Chains A and B, each alone.
Chain A
Amino acid sequence: MVKIPVVREILEVNDRIAEENRAIFRENGVFVLNLMSSPGAGKTSLLERTIDALHEEIQIGVIEGDIQTSIDAIRISKKGIPAVQINTDDACHLDGNMIRAAFDSLDLKALDLLIIENVGNLVCPAEFDTGENHKVVILSIPEGDDKPAKYPLMFHEASVLLVNKMDLLPYIDCSLDVIKETSMKINPHLEIFEVSCKTQEGLSNWYDWLRQKVHAFKEGESDR
Protein backbone atom coordinates (compact mmCIF):
# COMPACT_ATOMS: atom_id res chain seq x y z
CA MET A 1 0.00 0.00 0.00
CA VAL A 2 1.37 3.44 -0.95
CA LYS A 3 0.09 6.87 0.03
CA ILE A 4 0.52 9.62 -2.53
CA PRO A 5 -0.07 13.23 -1.54
CA VAL A 6 -1.75 14.91 -4.51
CA VAL A 7 -3.20 18.34 -3.67
CA ARG A 8 -4.79 19.24 -6.99
CA GLU A 9 -7.90 21.29 -7.74
CA ILE A 10 -10.65 19.08 -9.10
CA LEU A 11 -11.76 21.86 -11.46
CA GLU A 12 -8.18 22.70 -12.54
CA VAL A 13 -8.89 22.01 -16.21
CA ASN A 14 -11.96 24.24 -16.28
CA ASP A 15 -10.20 26.97 -14.31
CA ARG A 16 -7.31 26.98 -16.78
CA ILE A 17 -9.60 27.18 -19.81
CA ALA A 18 -11.64 29.95 -18.16
CA GLU A 19 -8.47 31.97 -17.53
CA GLU A 20 -7.50 31.53 -21.20
CA ASN A 21 -10.99 32.68 -22.22
CA ARG A 22 -10.61 35.71 -19.95
CA ALA A 23 -7.32 36.62 -21.65
CA ILE A 24 -8.92 36.25 -25.11
CA PHE A 25 -11.84 38.47 -24.06
CA ARG A 26 -9.42 41.08 -22.73
CA GLU A 27 -7.35 41.05 -25.94
CA ASN A 28 -10.51 41.63 -27.95
CA GLY A 29 -11.81 44.32 -25.61
CA VAL A 30 -15.01 42.45 -24.72
CA PHE A 31 -16.58 42.88 -21.30
CA VAL A 32 -18.28 39.62 -20.33
CA LEU A 33 -21.15 38.81 -17.98
CA ASN A 34 -22.31 35.37 -16.90
CA LEU A 35 -26.08 35.68 -16.33
CA MET A 36 -27.61 33.09 -14.04
CA SER A 37 -30.94 32.34 -12.34
CA SER A 38 -33.57 29.67 -11.80
CA PRO A 39 -35.60 28.68 -14.87
CA GLY A 40 -38.20 31.34 -15.56
CA ALA A 41 -36.72 34.17 -13.49
CA GLY A 42 -36.39 36.38 -16.57
CA LYS A 43 -32.90 35.98 -18.03
CA THR A 44 -34.01 36.16 -21.66
CA SER A 45 -36.51 38.95 -20.95
CA LEU A 46 -33.75 40.96 -19.28
CA LEU A 47 -31.55 40.39 -22.32
CA GLU A 48 -34.29 41.57 -24.67
CA ARG A 49 -34.87 44.75 -22.64
CA THR A 50 -31.13 45.40 -22.31
CA ILE A 51 -30.53 44.95 -26.03
CA ASP A 52 -33.42 47.30 -26.88
CA ALA A 53 -32.08 49.95 -24.52
CA LEU A 54 -28.37 49.76 -25.30
CA HIS A 55 -27.79 48.31 -28.77
CA GLU A 56 -27.25 51.72 -30.38
CA GLU A 57 -24.42 52.65 -28.03
CA ILE A 58 -22.93 49.24 -27.13
CA GLN A 59 -22.20 46.33 -29.48
CA ILE A 60 -23.75 43.35 -27.73
CA GLY A 61 -23.38 39.63 -28.39
CA VAL A 62 -25.08 36.75 -26.60
CA ILE A 63 -24.22 33.13 -25.89
CA GLU A 64 -27.31 31.13 -25.01
CA GLY A 65 -26.87 28.05 -22.87
CA ASP A 66 -29.78 25.66 -22.94
CA ILE A 67 -30.19 21.97 -22.28
CA GLN A 68 -32.23 21.21 -25.38
CA THR A 69 -33.79 23.96 -27.48
CA SER A 70 -32.86 27.08 -29.45
CA ILE A 71 -35.93 29.01 -28.28
CA ASP A 72 -33.90 31.66 -26.44
CA ALA A 73 -31.34 32.16 -29.22
CA ILE A 74 -34.18 32.65 -31.70
CA ARG A 75 -35.75 35.26 -29.38
CA ILE A 76 -32.43 37.11 -29.15
CA SER A 77 -31.62 36.83 -32.89
CA LYS A 78 -34.89 38.65 -33.64
CA LYS A 79 -33.27 41.69 -32.04
CA GLY A 80 -30.68 41.67 -34.82
CA ILE A 81 -27.65 40.95 -32.67
CA PRO A 82 -25.29 37.96 -32.83
CA ALA A 83 -26.53 35.07 -30.69
CA VAL A 84 -24.87 31.66 -30.46
CA GLN A 85 -26.74 28.69 -29.08
CA ILE A 86 -24.98 26.09 -26.97
CA ASN A 87 -26.97 22.97 -26.21
CA THR A 88 -25.47 21.31 -23.18
CA ASP A 89 -27.13 17.91 -23.84
CA ASP A 90 -28.46 17.43 -20.34
CA ALA A 91 -25.58 19.15 -18.54
CA CYS A 92 -26.92 21.57 -15.95
CA HIS A 93 -24.38 24.36 -16.50
CA LEU A 94 -22.02 25.97 -19.00
CA ASP A 95 -18.28 25.56 -18.53
CA GLY A 96 -15.16 27.17 -19.93
CA ASN A 97 -14.80 24.69 -22.76
CA MET A 98 -18.35 25.16 -24.06
CA ILE A 99 -17.80 28.93 -24.15
CA ARG A 100 -14.53 28.39 -26.01
CA ALA A 101 -16.36 26.33 -28.62
CA ALA A 102 -18.67 29.29 -29.29
CA PHE A 103 -15.77 31.62 -30.16
CA ASP A 104 -15.68 30.41 -33.77
CA SER A 105 -19.24 31.62 -34.29
CA LEU A 106 -18.65 35.07 -32.78
CA ASP A 107 -16.73 38.08 -34.05
CA LEU A 108 -15.33 39.02 -30.64
CA LYS A 109 -13.44 42.04 -32.02
CA ALA A 110 -16.74 43.59 -33.09
CA LEU A 111 -18.27 43.33 -29.59
CA ASP A 112 -18.13 45.58 -26.52
CA LEU A 113 -20.26 43.36 -24.34
CA LEU A 114 -20.86 39.61 -24.38
CA ILE A 115 -23.61 38.24 -22.18
CA ILE A 116 -23.59 34.52 -21.46
CA GLU A 117 -27.04 33.29 -20.53
CA ASN A 118 -26.38 30.23 -18.44
CA VAL A 119 -28.67 27.22 -18.02
CA GLY A 120 -31.55 27.98 -15.64
CA ASN A 121 -30.28 26.60 -12.33
CA LEU A 122 -29.30 28.24 -9.02
CA VAL A 123 -26.77 25.59 -7.99
CA CYS A 124 -24.39 24.23 -10.60
CA PRO A 125 -23.50 27.24 -12.81
CA ALA A 126 -22.06 29.07 -9.78
CA GLU A 127 -19.27 26.51 -9.51
CA PHE A 128 -17.92 26.85 -13.06
CA ASP A 129 -15.88 29.83 -14.17
CA THR A 130 -16.43 30.61 -17.86
CA GLY A 131 -13.95 33.49 -18.10
CA GLU A 132 -16.46 36.26 -17.38
CA ASN A 133 -15.71 39.59 -15.70
CA HIS A 134 -18.75 39.35 -13.46
CA LYS A 135 -21.47 36.93 -12.51
CA VAL A 136 -24.97 38.40 -12.44
CA VAL A 137 -27.86 36.60 -10.75
CA ILE A 138 -31.58 37.24 -11.21
CA LEU A 139 -34.03 36.31 -8.46
CA SER A 140 -37.69 36.86 -9.28
CA ILE A 141 -40.26 37.71 -6.61
CA PRO A 142 -42.44 34.57 -7.13
CA GLU A 143 -39.47 32.32 -6.26
CA GLY A 144 -39.64 33.49 -2.63
CA ASP A 145 -37.32 35.30 -0.25
CA ASP A 146 -35.58 32.17 1.07
CA LYS A 147 -33.52 31.58 -2.07
CA PRO A 148 -30.33 33.45 -1.08
CA ALA A 149 -30.18 31.39 2.14
CA LYS A 150 -30.83 28.15 0.27
CA TYR A 151 -28.35 28.77 -2.56
CA PRO A 152 -25.56 30.75 -0.85
CA LEU A 153 -22.78 30.01 -3.36
CA MET A 154 -24.67 31.68 -6.22
CA PHE A 155 -25.25 34.86 -4.20
CA HIS A 156 -21.71 34.79 -2.85
CA GLU A 157 -20.16 34.56 -6.32
CA ALA A 158 -22.36 37.17 -8.03
CA SER A 159 -21.40 40.83 -8.28
CA VAL A 160 -24.94 41.93 -9.11
CA LEU A 161 -28.38 40.75 -8.00
CA LEU A 162 -31.38 41.80 -10.06
CA VAL A 163 -34.62 41.28 -8.15
CA ASN A 164 -37.05 40.84 -11.05
CA LYS A 165 -40.86 40.85 -11.33
CA MET A 166 -41.12 43.63 -8.75
CA ASP A 167 -44.58 44.36 -10.18
CA LEU A 168 -45.78 41.10 -8.55
CA LEU A 169 -44.64 42.06 -5.04
CA PRO A 170 -48.14 43.18 -3.85
CA TYR A 171 -49.62 39.79 -4.74
CA ILE A 172 -47.02 37.42 -3.36
CA ASP A 173 -45.80 36.55 0.14
CA CYS A 174 -42.23 37.49 -0.47
CA SER A 175 -40.28 40.06 1.52
CA LEU A 176 -37.89 42.29 -0.38
CA ASP A 177 -36.20 43.15 2.93
CA VAL A 178 -35.47 39.46 3.60
CA ILE A 179 -34.01 39.03 0.10
CA LYS A 180 -31.76 42.05 0.60
CA GLU A 181 -30.76 41.21 4.15
CA THR A 182 -29.84 37.57 3.48
CA SER A 183 -28.05 38.22 0.21
CA MET A 184 -26.04 41.12 1.68
CA LYS A 185 -25.08 38.89 4.61
CA ILE A 186 -23.71 36.29 2.19
CA ASN A 187 -22.10 38.94 0.00
CA PRO A 188 -21.71 42.43 1.52
CA HIS A 189 -20.39 43.82 -1.79
CA LEU A 190 -23.38 42.72 -3.86
CA GLU A 191 -25.04 45.43 -5.98
CA ILE A 192 -28.81 45.02 -5.89
CA PHE A 193 -31.23 46.40 -8.48
CA GLU A 194 -35.00 46.09 -8.09
CA VAL A 195 -36.50 45.72 -11.55
CA SER A 196 -39.45 44.55 -13.57
CA CYS A 197 -38.75 43.47 -17.12
CA LYS A 198 -42.50 43.69 -17.78
CA THR A 199 -43.10 47.29 -16.60
CA GLN A 200 -39.42 48.36 -17.08
CA GLU A 201 -39.41 49.71 -13.53
CA GLY A 202 -35.86 50.13 -12.20
CA LEU A 203 -34.12 48.95 -15.37
CA SER A 204 -32.41 52.30 -15.97
CA ASN A 205 -30.22 51.67 -12.88
CA TRP A 206 -29.09 48.36 -14.41
CA TYR A 207 -28.38 50.03 -17.76
CA ASP A 208 -26.32 52.73 -15.99
CA TRP A 209 -24.29 50.08 -14.17
CA LEU A 210 -23.66 48.26 -17.48
CA ARG A 211 -22.70 51.43 -19.35
CA GLN A 212 -20.30 52.44 -16.61
CA LYS A 213 -18.70 48.98 -16.46
CA VAL A 214 -18.30 48.60 -20.22
CA HIS A 215 -16.78 52.08 -20.54
CA ALA A 216 -14.40 51.54 -17.62
CA PHE A 217 -13.32 48.24 -19.19
CA LYS A 218 -12.71 49.94 -22.54
CA GLU A 219 -10.64 52.59 -20.76
CA GLY A 220 -8.42 49.77 -19.58
CA GLU A 221 -9.45 49.61 -15.95
CA SER A 222 -8.80 46.16 -14.64
CA ASP A 223 -12.00 44.34 -13.82
CA ARG A 224 -10.80 40.85 -13.01
Chain B
Amino acid sequence: MHEVSIAEGLLQIVLDEVKKHSISKVRVVKLKIGELSGVQPSALTFCFDLIAKDTPVEGADLRIDMVPVKVKCLDCEDVFIAEDHSFFCPDCSGLNIELMSGRELHVQEIEGD
Protein backbone atom coordinates (compact mmCIF):
# COMPACT_ATOMS: atom_id res chain seq x y z
CA MET B 1 0.00 0.00 0.00
CA HIS B 2 2.66 2.52 -0.94
CA GLU B 3 -0.17 4.31 -2.73
CA VAL B 4 -0.59 6.26 0.53
CA SER B 5 2.92 7.72 0.14
CA ILE B 6 2.33 8.37 -3.54
CA ALA B 7 -1.00 10.07 -2.75
CA GLU B 8 0.72 12.27 -0.15
CA GLY B 9 3.37 13.35 -2.66
CA LEU B 10 0.66 14.03 -5.21
CA LEU B 11 -1.48 16.08 -2.82
CA GLN B 12 1.55 18.15 -1.80
CA ILE B 13 2.28 19.02 -5.43
CA VAL B 14 -1.36 19.91 -6.15
CA LEU B 15 -1.57 22.09 -3.02
CA ASP B 16 1.67 23.81 -4.07
CA GLU B 17 0.19 24.66 -7.44
CA VAL B 18 -3.13 25.73 -5.88
CA LYS B 19 -1.25 28.29 -3.81
CA LYS B 20 0.92 29.44 -6.69
CA HIS B 21 -2.03 30.03 -9.01
CA SER B 22 -4.59 31.16 -6.38
CA ILE B 23 -7.08 28.40 -7.16
CA SER B 24 -9.97 28.01 -4.72
CA LYS B 25 -11.32 24.69 -5.92
CA VAL B 26 -9.57 21.91 -7.84
CA ARG B 27 -11.87 19.98 -10.21
CA VAL B 28 -9.54 17.66 -12.09
CA VAL B 29 -6.01 16.33 -11.57
CA LYS B 30 -4.45 14.60 -14.59
CA LEU B 31 -1.71 12.07 -13.99
CA LYS B 32 0.52 9.81 -16.02
CA ILE B 33 1.39 6.46 -14.47
CA GLY B 34 3.72 4.02 -16.18
CA GLU B 35 2.61 0.43 -16.40
CA LEU B 36 5.94 -0.71 -14.96
CA SER B 37 5.37 1.26 -11.76
CA GLY B 38 3.73 -0.78 -9.04
CA VAL B 39 0.89 1.70 -8.54
CA GLN B 40 -2.71 0.47 -8.58
CA PRO B 41 -4.91 3.29 -9.95
CA SER B 42 -7.91 2.28 -7.82
CA ALA B 43 -5.82 2.17 -4.62
CA LEU B 44 -4.25 5.53 -5.46
CA THR B 45 -7.66 7.12 -6.08
CA PHE B 46 -8.97 5.69 -2.80
CA CYS B 47 -6.03 7.07 -0.79
CA PHE B 48 -6.07 10.42 -2.57
CA ASP B 49 -9.80 10.94 -1.92
CA LEU B 50 -9.23 10.23 1.77
CA ILE B 51 -6.30 12.58 2.34
CA ALA B 52 -7.72 15.37 0.15
CA LYS B 53 -10.65 15.86 2.56
CA ASP B 54 -10.91 19.40 3.97
CA THR B 55 -8.52 20.82 1.36
CA PRO B 56 -9.33 22.73 -1.86
CA VAL B 57 -8.66 19.43 -3.63
CA GLU B 58 -11.49 17.52 -1.92
CA GLY B 59 -13.69 15.73 -4.44
CA ALA B 60 -11.35 16.41 -7.39
CA ASP B 61 -11.54 13.91 -10.22
CA LEU B 62 -8.27 11.99 -10.54
CA ARG B 63 -7.79 11.17 -14.24
CA ILE B 64 -5.06 8.59 -14.64
CA ASP B 65 -3.47 7.97 -17.99
CA MET B 66 -1.62 4.63 -17.96
CA VAL B 67 1.56 4.73 -20.05
CA PRO B 68 2.74 1.53 -21.77
CA VAL B 69 6.27 0.23 -21.29
CA LYS B 70 8.02 1.49 -24.42
CA VAL B 71 11.66 0.63 -25.03
CA LYS B 72 14.28 1.34 -27.65
CA CYS B 73 16.93 -1.08 -28.87
CA LEU B 74 20.22 0.84 -28.93
CA ASP B 75 21.71 -1.68 -31.39
CA CYS B 76 19.13 -1.57 -34.19
CA GLU B 77 17.19 1.55 -33.08
CA ASP B 78 13.90 -0.35 -33.10
CA VAL B 79 11.28 1.08 -30.75
CA PHE B 80 8.75 -1.36 -29.35
CA ILE B 81 6.20 -1.92 -26.60
CA ALA B 82 7.58 -4.40 -24.05
CA GLU B 83 4.59 -6.74 -23.85
CA ASP B 84 4.77 -8.86 -20.68
CA HIS B 85 7.86 -6.82 -19.68
CA SER B 86 10.34 -8.36 -22.14
CA PHE B 87 13.40 -6.17 -22.20
CA PHE B 88 15.10 -7.60 -25.25
CA CYS B 89 14.69 -6.52 -28.85
CA PRO B 90 12.16 -8.59 -30.84
CA ASP B 91 14.03 -7.71 -34.04
CA CYS B 92 17.71 -8.31 -33.31
CA SER B 93 17.42 -9.96 -29.83
CA GLY B 94 19.72 -7.19 -28.54
CA LEU B 95 19.92 -6.60 -24.79
CA ASN B 96 21.13 -3.04 -25.08
CA ILE B 97 17.78 -1.53 -24.25
CA GLU B 98 16.74 1.94 -23.18
CA LEU B 99 13.49 2.44 -21.31
CA MET B 100 11.58 5.28 -23.01
CA SER B 101 8.36 5.18 -21.02
CA GLY B 102 6.57 3.08 -18.45
CA ARG B 103 8.12 4.34 -15.18
CA GLU B 104 6.12 7.59 -15.04
CA LEU B 105 4.60 8.96 -11.87
CA HIS B 106 3.86 12.46 -13.13
CA VAL B 107 1.30 15.15 -12.49
CA GLN B 108 0.37 16.57 -15.90
CA GLU B 109 -2.36 19.13 -15.43
CA ILE B 110 -4.72 20.61 -12.89
CA GLU B 111 -8.12 22.10 -13.66
CA GLY B 112 -9.83 24.34 -11.17
CA ASP B 113 -11.60 27.60 -10.45
Q: Would you call A153 and B97 a contact (CB within 8 A)?
A: no
Q: Would you call B107 and A6 a contact (CB within 8 A)?
A: yes
Q: Does B6 contact A (CB under 8 A)?
A: yes
Q: A2-B112, A128-B2 are in contact. Are A153 and B107 (CB under 8 A)?
A: no
Q: A156-B85, A185-B86 are in contact. Are A92 and B2 (CB under 8 A)?
A: yes
**Min C-beta distance of A111 to chain B, whole Å:** 28
Contact of B106 among A1, A10, A128 (CB under 8 A): A10
Against A, the Cβ 8 Å flags (1 = close, 0 = not) of B74-113 are: 0000000000111110000001010000000111111111
Complex Cα spacing A53 to B70, Å: 42
Looking at chain A's contact residues, is the secondary structure mostly helix, strand, loop, or mixed?
mixed
Q: Would you call B111 and A126 a contact (CB within 8 A)?
A: no
Against B, the Cβ 8 Å flags (1 = close, 0 = not) of A167-210 are: 00000000000000000011111000000000000000000000
Contact of B6 among A2, A4, A11, A152 (CB under 8 A): A11
B17 to chain A: which residues have CB within 8 Å? 4, 6
Q: Would you call A127 and B36 a contact (CB within 8 A)?
A: no
Complex Cα spacing A131 to B53, Å: 33
B67 to chain A: which residues have CB within 8 Å? none
User: Please, which residue of chain B has its CB at the minimum distance from the CB of A123?
Assistant: B38
B66 to chain A: which residues have CB within 8 Å? none
Q: Would you call A152 and B95 a contact (CB within 8 A)?
A: no
Q: Would you call A1 and B87 a contact (CB within 8 A)?
A: no
Interface size class of B (residues with CB under 8 A): 20 to 34
Q: Would you call B107 and A10 a contact (CB within 8 A)?
A: yes
Q: Does B37 contact A (CB under 8 A)?
A: yes
Q: A2-B112, A152-B36, A185-B88 are in contact. Are A8 and B5 (CB under 8 A)?
A: no
Q: A149-B84, A153-B36, A186-B85 are in contact. Are A124 and B9 (CB under 8 A)?
A: no
Residues of A1-37 at the interface with B, using a CB-CB cut-off of 8 Å, are 1-14
Against A, the Cβ 8 Å flags (1 = close, 0 = not) of B1-15 are: 110111001101100
Complex Cα spacing A12 to B106, Å: 9
Q: A11-B6, A95-B5, A189-B95 are in contact. Are A6 and B109 (CB under 8 A)?
A: yes
Complex Cα spacing A152 to B83, Å: 12
Q: Would you call B95 and A6 a contact (CB within 8 A)?
A: no
B112 to chain A: which residues have CB within 8 Å? 1-2, 4
Q: Would you call B87 and A188 a contact (CB within 8 A)?
A: yes
**Min C-beta distance of B102 to chain A, whole Å:** 9
Q: A2-B111, A2-B113, A6-B107 are in contact. Are A126 and B38 (CB under 8 A)?
A: yes
On A, residues with C-beta under 8 Å from B are 1-14, 91-93, 95, 123-124, 126-128, 149, 151-153, 156, 185-189
The 4 closest A-B pairs by CB, nearest first: A124-B2, A188-B95, A152-B85, A10-B105
A–B Cβ pairs within 8 angstroms, 12 of them: A1-B27, A4-B21, A4-B23, A10-B31, A13-B12, A123-B38, A124-B2, A127-B39, A151-B38, A152-B36, A156-B85, A188-B88
